[in-house]
Amino acid sequence: MNKIVLFLLVTIGMIMLFQDCKKSGGETVTPKKSYTLTVSLAEGINGSPGTGTYTYNQGDTVTYDYSLKNGYANLTVTRNNSQLSASGTFTISGDVRLTASHSFLLQNIVQVRTGSQFRDRADIIWLLDLLVDYGIYGIELTVKQDEDDEFSSGYAFYNSSIAPVAAGYENFDALQITIFEARKRGLKVFAWLPQFHDKAAVERNAGWQMKALVNGDVVAYTGKNPQHPEYFVNPTDESVKDYQLSIIAEVAANYDIDGLFIDWVRFDDWNMDMNDSTRQAYQNAAGIDPANIDFTTDNADRQAWNRWRQAVIADYIGKAKAKVAEIKPGLPMGVHILPPEFSEVAQDPGQFGASIDYVSPLAYWDDWGYATSWTWETMLLQTVGLVDETKIIPDLDTDWSNDDAAAVVNNIKNIYPRIQKVLWFKYANWTRRSLSKIQSLNQE
């Protein structure tokens, strides 16, 4: 009996399957063939379908739509090597390889001196809209003042509980508002944190001020121009370093930044620091009072003194990076440096380059009386000899002629192809004209 029931069930199932496979006209339906869609998107491209492998049936319609993120240009979409528009549809009739790519452009980051350019939310919105219009990748803004001009150095432009807040910014957190508005526009935000150029710190503790040996006397250092005093703190003083590290930690912990750059992590010349604590520390290390060194010539004592100071600076940079990593693992940190040949400031990227994410050498060739070619023939060549090329973000100036700027940008692209980003400094406020100039330089 069971065998008869089983036979009947199998027979009925076969009949039903046969009926399903017939068309209304009595013909058998051939199952649709399946095909593979392989999608490959380059970094810097938004859209769908995303990178991956998909299965479609013959005759299915695929809808695609791609666009470029800020900092990229010349979107190219292809299907099996035949170019398509940036968006549209196509019908599956076989295996398909869909790719979206772009031309390589240097990613431009503009540096904004907050105290000059950002006085209210409207200022921020106006500039960020322009950055989008001109294809800028990101913005680096001072979160505490760098120079002693519009404001005294060291005053904060964010809601700091450590550094004194600059006048007019008590209820205007420029960093927070910039991050909020930049996120809506797809822009990256980097915090710019000057370190040992800091009048606010000197006001906090006069004993922190940098001292220099001048004509045989130890004096408080106020810069090289008596008509424009500047204020520095002692990089060898542990309490000074703790103060600056606490500000770095505060910014890293409380703000959703994409990275940060520390600046003014250096001395200003050979003949400093000459605070009693520094002199004693060097005497303990080298057996000589640095106040007895002849700083006017290149000699063995001056060289040894500078190596000791370079180690102090490198150690501090390492501690800053460790602090950032402790608070927000993976957050990139960079350092602005003077060109390697400026050895009197005691910055040796060979000692700290491996521990950080970016090294940004200043390329202001005209300020120092060099030819344009010094940028790529000397400065970058020296820096690449000390730091992995992929970590280098040259800091360029906007006051160059169009021809000079084009020469610098083109030679960076051609000679140092692993450099992916450049910074642009403008002492005055950014305008449409200055941003247009940057955009034009980066076109292929």
Model confidence over 165-209: pLDDT tens digits?
999 999 999 999 999 999 999 999 999 999 999 999 999 999 999
Cite the DSSP H helix spans in 190-342: 199-204, 238-254, 276-286, 300-327
The end-to-end CA distance of the chain, in Å, is 83
In this structure, are 233 and 163 located in the same domain? Answer: yes
Does residue 24 form part of some domain? no
Beta bridge partners of 220: 211
The answer on pLDDT for 349 being more than 60 is yes
Summarised one tens digit per residue, pLDDT across range 276-323 is: 999 999 999 999 999 999 999 999 999 999 999 999 999 999 999 999
Summarised one tens digit per residue, pLDDT across range 216-226 is: 999 999 999 99
**Beta-strand pair 211-214/107-112:** unpaired
In this structure, are 153 and 250 located in the same domain? Answer: yes
Per-chain mean pLDDT for the chain: 92
In this structure, are 213 and 139 located in the same domain? Answer: yes
In this structure, are 113 and 93 located in the same domain? Answer: no
In this structure, are 124 and 214 located in the same domain? Answer: yes
The answer on pLDDT for 24 being more than 80 is no
- Quote the longest CA-to-CA distance of the chain: 119
Does residue 7 form part of some domain? no
pLDDT at res. 22: 45
In this structure, are 56 and 184 located in the same domain? Answer: no
| CATH classification of the domain holding 271 | 3.20.20.80
Does residue 9 form part of some domain? no
In this structure, are 119 and 171 located in the same domain? Answer: yes
Q: How many domains does the chain have?
A: 2
Does residue 434 form part of some domain? yes
In this structure, are 51 and 159 located in the same domain? Answer: no
Does residue 164 form part of some domain? yes
| Single residue among 62, 81, 102 that ends a domain in this structure | 102
Beta bridge partners of 130: none
In this structure, are 297 and 227 located in the same domain? Answer: yes
| Single residue among 102, 122, 138 that ends a domain in this structure | 102
In this structure, are 96 and 161 located in the same domain? Answer: no
Q: What's the domain range around 196?
A: 107-441
In this structure, are 340 and 289 located in the same domain? Answer: yes
Average pLDDT over residues 50-60: 95
Does residue 356 form part of some domain? yes
- Give one word for 26, left, alpha or beta, with left for phi > 0 and alpha for psi -120 to 50: left
pLDDT at res. 417: 87
Q: Find the helix or strand (DSSP H, E) in which 412 lies.
A: helix 402-415
Summarised one tens digit per residue, pLDDT across range 227-256 is: 999 999 999 999 999 999 999 999 999 999
In this structure, are 88 and 129 located in the same domain? Answer: no
Does residue 369 form part of some domain? yes
- In this prediction, residue 105 has a pLDDT band, given cuts at 50, 70 and 90, of confident
Summarised one tens digit per residue, pLDDT across range 408-423 is: 999 999 899 899 999 9
- Compute CA distances 247 → 143, 157, 371, 372, 439, whole Å: 10, 12, 38, 37, 34
| Single residue among 102, 132, 150 that ends a domain in this structure | 102
Residue 218 in contact with residue 274, Cβ under 8 Å? yes
Does residue 259 form part of some domain? yes
Summarised one tens digit per residue, pLDDT across range 249-278 is: 999 999 999 999 999 999 999 999 999 999
